[in-house]
Amino acid sequence: MPQYTEKNEECNIYIIGSEKLSNELLLYFLAQSTSPSFHCSLLDSFSKLETDKTQGIKNLVLCNFHGAHEQNLLDECQRHMADAPPGFYWACVNVQHESKIAENAISKGVHGIFYESDSLATLKRGITAILKGELWFSRDTLSATLASLVEEKKTYKSSHVASDTIRLTKREKEILKYIALGKTNDEIARKLNISILTVKTHVRNIYNKIKVPNRIQAIFWVTKNFLHLK
């Protein structure tokens, strides 16, 4: 059986959505596919999440978009994300391929999206990645998100820029852009023709300046603060 967590860490997964049958099928699949330390359960609303009783344990909330109004569910998800403690990951499942919510989901702090056409194997790989602290979005979605931020910046009035703007060097901004596109340190090193050790040093300096602990938080930081970069 596939192992979803490293070193058999205890982990909870919560499935929330309006379609009971769809939720139960998803629960059955996950329950059959995961290790004993991975606990699956169904909730009929976000209010049933007991976030105060799960500290120290990894938790993944799967918002099942099957039969739901996508934007409403995403907005509700965001409201509860704001109140959740560290250790909670959030993903959208059964999203329609023609949906436009992917870029919006990144800016709201969602960690991954799974489409209706995705295979069960893809779902398993994605859950594994998310629980390791990675984002599960296509490169195209990450690129489109960054491109839209660039366009916003072109029309943004300089008088609106915060006085406490974080100042990054030209190289740091370049590397942060590649991080936001989902590229690894190895890929960044090849793109910029510099050593991976140099990339790691820049990444560490970037994290210190923008006050984030890891790559996933750096990407979220970019989506929220791109307009203020100088």
Number of Cβ within a 10 Å radius of residue 148? 14
Specify the higher pLDDT residue, 35 or 19: 19
Query: How far, in Å, CA of 221 to CA of 210, rounded?
Result: 8
Contact 40, 27 (CB under 8 A): yes
CA angle 160, 163, 168 (to 5 degrees): 105
In this prediction, residue 212 carries a pLDDT of 83
Q: Is the pTM of this model over 0.75?
A: no
Q: Give pLDDT tens digits for 12-26.
A: 889 988 888 888 988
141-228: CATH, from 3.40.50.2300, 1.10.357.10, 1.10.10.10, 3.30.1490.20: 1.10.10.10
In this prediction, residue 34 carries a pLDDT of 60
Domain edges within the chain:
6-137, 141-228
Q: Tell me the average pLDDT across 198-227.
A: 83
Query: How far, in Å, CA of 88 to CA of 11, rounded?
Result: 10
DSSP for 68-93, please give it: S-HHHHHHHHHHHHHHPPTTEEEEEE
For the CA atoms of 48, 52, 58, 60, the dihedral, rounded to the nearest 10 degrees, stands at 20
Give the pLDDT band of residue 55 (cuts 50, 70, 90).
low
SS3 label, residue 60: strand
6-137: CATH, from 1.10.3720.10, 3.30.160.20, 3.20.20.140, 3.40.50.2300: 3.40.50.2300
Query: How far, in Å, CA of 181 to CA of 1, rounded?
Result: 32
Specify the higher pLDDT residue, 153 or 196: 196
Nearest to residue 135, comparing CAs of 199, 216, 29? 216
Copy the structure tokens of residue 136.
């599960």
